Amino acid sequence: MSRIGKQQINIPSGVEVVFDAHAIRVKGPKGELIRPIREEIVFKQEDGVITSEPRRNDKFSRSLWGTYMSHINNMVSGVVTPFEKKLLVEGVGFKWEVKGSDLQLALGFSHPVIIAIPQGLTVTAEKGSLTISGIDKEMVGLFANKVRALKKPEPYKGKGIRYSNEVIRRKQGKKSA
C-alpha cells in the first residue's frame, strides 16, 4: 500500500481542481497546470479534499497511485506559491545574463552558450546567482539541471555551476615535494 497515495490533499481557497477522463486540471491565482493521467487510479474530490485509490490491486496501479498523488500535490502547491531553484556560478570570467527570452552564459568556452528559457518560467540573473521560478515543479527542475549540466562544478577549485544548497567535496590536488 502506498503511504503517499493514502494521504489526503487539501485544496486551498482560490484553487480549482478538475478531473477529466484523461487529464487533471489545476487552476489557481498564479496560473493553470494540466497533466495527462491514466485510468488506473480513481480520484474523489469532496469538501476541498482529494483522495484516491487504485482500480485494480496490481503492481503497476499501486506504483502510479503515490506518483499521481505527488504530482497533484505539487500542482496544487505550485499554483499558489511558485517553485524556485537557485544556482550559483564560481570561476574567473564565468557569468550569465538574461536577454529577452534567452539565457546567455559565458563559461570559458570559445563561444557564448545561449539557452532558450521555456514558456512559463521566470529567470532572474544577478552577479553570481541565477534564480529560476515557475508554477510547474518539473519544468523548474529540468531547466535548472540543464543549466547546471553545461559546466558541472569540479572538485579541485570548485569552479562551475552548482545549486545554492549543494556542497562540493574538495580534493587536495598535487603535493609539491
CA distance 134 to 125: 15
The predicted model gives 38-60 an average pLDDT of 91
pLDDT at 152 over 70: yes
CA distance 110 to 108: 7
Domain 3-78 falls in which CATH fold?
Answer: Outer Surface Protein A; domain 3 (3.90.930)
* Residues 148/107, Cβ–Cβ less than 8 Å: no
The predicted model gives 148-177 an average pLDDT of 89
Most confident of 57-66, 131-140, 168-177: 131-140
CA distance 40 to 99: 44
**Cell representation of residue 91:** 570561476
Over residues 110-137, the pLDDT tens digits come to 999 999 999 999 999 998 899 999 999 9
- Within this chain, domains 3-78 and 83-163 share the same CATH topology: yes
pLDDT > 70: percent of the chain: 98
CA distance 23 to 31: 16
Which CATH number is associated with domain 83-163? 3.90.930.12
Locate the domains of the chain by residue range: 3-78, 83-163
Over residues 89-114, the pLDDT tens digits come to 998 989 999 999 999 999 999 999 99
Per-residue pLDDT band for 1 (boundaries 50, 70, 90) equals low
CA distance 166 to 89: 12
* Residues 30/80, Cβ–Cβ less than 8 Å: yes
